[in-house]
Structure 1
Amino acid sequence: MSSSVITDARARELRRDFPILAEQVHGEQLVYLDFGATAQRSTAVLDVERDFLEHRNAAVHRGAHELAALSTSDFEDARDTIARFIGADADEIAWQAGATDALNTVTLGIAAASRGRGGDESVPLRLGPGDEIVITEAEHHANLVPWQELALATGATLKWVPANDRGTWSIDDARAVVTEATKVIAFAHVSNVTGMIAPVEQLVELATSVGAITVLDACQSVPHRPVDFHALGVDFAAFSSHKMTGPNGLGVLYGRRERLAQLPPARTGGSMIEIVTMESTTFMDPPTRFEAGTQAVPQVIGLAAACRYLEGVGMAAIAEHEEALGALMVERLSALDGVTVIGDDASVPRSGLAAFIVDGVHSHDVSQFLDARGIAVRGGHHCAQPLHRRLGVTASTRASSYFTTTDDDIDALVSALGDVRAYFGADR
Structure 2
Amino acid sequence: MSNLDDIFASVRSQFPALTQKVHGKNLVYLDSGATTLKPQSVVDRIAHFYSYETSNVHRGAHYLGDVATGHFEAARQKVAEFLGARQSEEIIFVRGTTEGVNLVANSWGLSNLKAGDEILITVMEHHGNIVPWQMVAEKVGAKVVAADILDNGELDLEDFKKKLNSRTKMVAFTASSNVLGTNTDMKLLTKLAHEVGAKVLVDGAQIVSQLPVDVSDIDCDFFVFSAHKLFGPFGFGAVYGKKEILDQMPPYQGGGSMISKVTIEKTTFNDVPTRFEAGTPHVEGAVGLHAALTFVENIGLDKIHKYEMDLLNYATGRLLEIPDVKIYGTSQNKGAILSFNLKGAHHSDIGQILDQEGVAVRAGHHCTQPLMARLGVPGTVRASLSVYNNREDIDSMVKAVVKAREMLL
The 5-angstrom pairing of residues 158-169 of structure 1 reads 158-169=144-155
- For residue 389 of structure 1, the aligned residue among 350, 373, 378 is 373
* Alignment of 1:56 onto 2:42: no
Alpha-carbon shift at residue 75 of structure 1 (Å): 1.0
Quick check: 1:98 aligned with 2:96? Answer: yes
Task: Quote the residue 1:409 is aligned against.
Answer: 393
User: Using the alignment, how far apart are the partners of 2:259 and 2:153 within structure 1?
Assistant: 45
Deviations 1:221-266 (A, max 9, x none): 0122111111111100110011111011101111111121122111
Give the counterpart letter for 2:298 in structure 1. G
1:43 counterpart residue number: 40
Q: Which residue of 320, 326, 339 maps to 1:340?
A: 326
| Conservation of the 8 A alpha-carbon contact between 2:168 and 2:198 | yes
Matched with 1:420 is 404
In the superposition, relative to structure 1, how do residues 10 and 162 fare at CA in structure 2: closer, same or farther (>3 Å)?
same
- The answer to whether the Cα contact below 8 Å between 2:15 and 2:388 also exists between their aligned partners in 1 is no
* Contact in 2 for aligned 1:323/1:349 (Cα 8 Å): no
Q: Are the aligned partners of 1:167 and 1:387 in contact in 2 as well (CA < 8 Å)?
A: no
Determine whether 1:24 maps to 2:32: no
Aligned 1:181-260 pairs, distance under 5 A: 181-260=167-246
1:84 aligns with 2:81: yes
* TM-superposition CA deviations, 1:24-54 (whole Å, max 9, x none): 1111111110000011111111111111111
Please say if 1:368 is aligned against 2:352.
yes
The one of 98, 120, 125 equivalent to 1:139 is 125
2:52, 2:293 → 1: CA distance? 22
Q: Report the TM-score when normalising by structure 2.
A: 0.97
Structural RMSD (CA): 1.3
Alpha-carbon distance in structure 2 between the residues aligned to 1:339 and 1:262: 51
Write the distance in 2 (CA, Å) between the matches of 1:421 and 1:52: 48
Q: How far apart, CA to CA, are the structure 2 residues paired with 1:217 and 1:288?
A: 22
1:71 aligned to which of 44, 49, 68:
68
CA distance in 2, matches of 1:111, 1:418: 48
2:256 partner amino acid: G
Structure 1 position 304 matched with structure 2 position 302: no
Pair 1:178 & 2:164 matched: yes
Measure, in 1, the Cα distance between the counterparts of 2:312 and 2:372.
Answer: 20
Once residues 343 and 105 of structure 1 are traced to their aligned partners in structure 2, the CA distance between those partners, rounded to angstroms, is 31
Return the offset for 1:198: 0.3
Choose from 87, 109, 114 the match for 1:128: 114
Q: Deviations over 1:62-99 (max 9, x none)?
A: 21111111111111111111221121221111111121
Report Cα offsets for 1:344-377 as digits up to 9, x if no partner: 25xx121001100111211111111111111110
| Cα distance change on mapping 1:256 and 1:305 into 2, 3 Å | same
> SS in structure 1 opposite 2:49?
helix
Secondary structure at the aligned position of 1:354 is classed as strand
- Report the AA paired with residue 311 of structure 2: L
Is the contact between residue 148 and residue 156 of structure 2 (CA under 8 Å) also seen in structure 1?
no
Identity, in percent, stands at: 40
- Following the alignment from structure 1 to structure 2, what is the Cα–Cα distance between the partners of residues 30 and 71? 36
Aligned letter for 1:371?
A: D
**Structure 1 residue 6: deviation in Å?**
6.8
Structure 1 residue 283, shift from structure 2 partner: 0.9
- The one-letter amino acid paired with 2:312 is G
Residue 410 of structure 1 and its aligned partner are, at CA, apart by 1.4
2:254 to 234, 249, 268: 268
Contact map agreement 2:110 2:140 (CA 8 A) in 1: no
String of CA shifts for 1:253-309, please: whole Å, max 9, x gaps.
111111211221111111000111112211111110110000000111010000001
Look up the match of 2:279: 293
Name the residue aligned to 2:362.
378
CA distance in 1, matches of 2:11, 2:160: 40
Asked if structure 2 preserves the Cα contact closer than 8 Å seen for 1:236 and 1:255, the reply is: yes
Find the aligned partners of 2:313 and 2:123 in 1 and give their Cα distance.
23
Does the aligned pair in 2 maintain the 1:226–1:319 contact within 8 Å?
A: no
State the alpha-carbon separation in 2 of the partners of residues 63 and 209 from structure 1: 47
Q: Distance in 2 between matches of 1:259 and 1:358?
A: 47
Q: Which amino acid aligns with 1:299?
A: G
User: Aligned equivalents of 1:84 and 1:6: distance in 2?
Assistant: 28
Q: 2:346 aligned with 1:357, yes or no?
A: no
Matched positions, count: 407
In the alignment, the residues of structure 2 paired with residue 337 and residue 386 of structure 1 have an alpha-carbon distance, to the nearest angstrom, of: 28
